[in-house]
Amino acid sequence: MRRLRVSHIVLILLCLLYFITYLDRVNVSTAAAGYAGEFHLNKTEIGLVFSAFAYPYLLFQIIGGWVSDRFGARRTLIASGVIWAGATVLTGMAGGLAFLLFARLLLGFGEGATFPAATAAMSRWVPKERRGYAQGVTHAAARIGTAVAPTAIVVVMTRYGWRDSFYACAVLSFLWVVLWALSFTEIPADHPRITAQELAELPVPQGERFSVPWWPLFRRMLPVTIVYFCYGWTLWLFLSWIPQYFLHSYNLDLTQSAVFASAVFFAGVVGDTLGGIVTDKLLERTGDLKRARSWMVATCMLLSALAMIPLMLTHGLSVSLLCLSAGFFFAEMTIGPMWAIPMDVAPACSGTASGMMNTGSALAAITSPVVSGYLIDRYGNWQLPFLVTMILMGITVFLAFRMRPESRFQGADVPGAAVRVPAQS
């Protein structure tokens, strides 16, 4: 029997991380059918609950990225996991809107550093030619969490109640923290099970990290951040409102709406995985990062916008399902190339760079659910939020060429005050 590589175990653990964090995020959308009625919330207030998570999530993207670069992904993710798991427990204990908002804020604080820290871990544990695949497959796991959540949460809700759905998610989170603490080492060479052959295939470890050149790095990553904001608007519209869209726009029952929502989200699973594979293959064949990253992002965003045009022209359940699934599929194909860009551009501080990029999505997570909820409340039209996201996708097609992934960030090569990679504890 072939021995499982340590780097594969690390990637599996990161996939589980992404799966659980998105299960924790999306369960609040499906569970809204329970707590919204109990607490008498309107659509705008539900949107506030959806977006509350994103305020601290936005704040701790860059901070969390720097912390993971400075103190390591192992310590960062252990601390983050304990916080977000505790926040999930508190969500189930909520007695009203204020407590719900507090619990979701705490969840955002706990999960703010997770993806930048995971990217920092990948920069040492994933070969350069497989970065797109690694980012694609981990985000595919996130979308599996997104797809599983509606149906799984409904099953728990109908049998035990909406509160128990959060307690179940919290148990999974605490278990993951234990597995990560027992299995992961910051430096591949420190792992007791790694072989010399596997170690030779991984990136050459750097004994020291350089201080982050904040302003130059921010300017370099700004176009990437704007593009990711436009993508994030689409993502958070889908994650927050798709279950409610099928429930109310077509007068389905809770179980039926969950099944249709899961079908849309599973299209994203395929898109994430395929996008990571395609971007790596393009890079392998052309050796051109601009084609493999920028061209691919622009093409997929255009196809995503085009796929949703029929949604604006007709009102039918089958058409909506196909359009939304295709739109989400192409949008998710951008994930592999987008998350590979911070490692391409600034490998020495990839945690911080990816945190800057993901700030765009976090800002979209704040605004997209609330704006969408307002549009639905104000006009009673469930199509309008999707029209907004199609316009943003069109803008992204042009902005994608400003990211310049082929241009290495020079500040990452200039030594500053050395910051040593933490010793394994």
* 51-84 residue pLDDT tens: 788 788 888 888 888 888 888 889 999 999 999 9
Whether residue 424 lies inside any domain: the answer is no
Retrieve residue 395's tokens: 């803008």
Range of the domain at 217: 6-186+210-408
259-301: pLDDT as tens digits: 888 888 889 889 988 998 999 899 889 888 899 999 999 999 9
Q: List all residues 6 or more positions away from 195 whose beta carbon is below 8 Å from its beta carbon.
A: none
d(CA 158, CA 34): 10
Instruction: Tell me how long the chain is.
Output: 425
Q: CA end-to-end span of the chain, whole Å?
A: 32
Whether residue 240 lies inside any domain: the answer is yes
Q: How many domains does the chain fold into?
A: 1
Burial class of residue 395 (count of CB atoms within 10 Å of its CB; 0-12, 13-18, 19+): middle
* pLDDT of 106: 92
* pLDDT of 61: 81
d(CA 287, CA 229): 27
Whether residue 202 lies inside any domain: the answer is no
Whether residue 193 lies inside any domain: the answer is no
* pLDDT of 204: 63
* Residue 208 dihedral angles phi and psi, to the nearest 5°: -135, 150
Whether residue 197 lies inside any domain: the answer is no
* CATH number of domain containing 40: 1.20.1250.20
Q: List all residues 6 or more positions away from 116 whose beta carbon is below 8 Å from its beta carbon.
A: 61, 64, 65, 68, 351, 352, 354, 355, 358
Retrieve residue 301's tokens: 């965003």
Q: Is the CA virtual torsion 135, 141, 145, 148 positive or negative? A: positive
Q: List all residues 6 or more positions away from 376 whose beta carbon is below 8 Å from its beta carbon.
A: 43, 241, 382, 384, 385
**240 within 8 A of 369, measured Cβ to Cβ:** yes
Q: List all residues 6 or more positions away from 139 whose beta carbon is below 8 Å from its beta carbon.
A: 18, 272, 276, 332, 335, 336, 339
* pLDDT of 399: 92
Whether residue 63 lies inside any domain: the answer is yes
Most distant CA pair in the chain, distance: 63
* pLDDT of 120: 83
d(CA 257, CA 208): 51
Whole-model pTM? Answer: 0.76
How far is the CA of 240 from the CAs of 31, 54, 233, 284, in angstroms?
A: 11, 12, 11, 36
Q: List all residues 6 or more positions away from 51 whose beta carbon is below 8 Å from its beta carbon.
A: 236, 240, 365, 366, 367, 368, 369, 370
Residues in the chain, pLDDT under 70: 1-3, 204-210, 410-425
Q: Which helix (H) or strand (E) is 96 found in, with range?
A: none
Whether residue 82 lies inside any domain: the answer is yes
* CA proximity to 38, closest of 114, 95, 111: 95
Whether residue 255 lies inside any domain: the answer is yes
Rg of the Cα trace of the chain?
21
* pLDDT of 187: 85
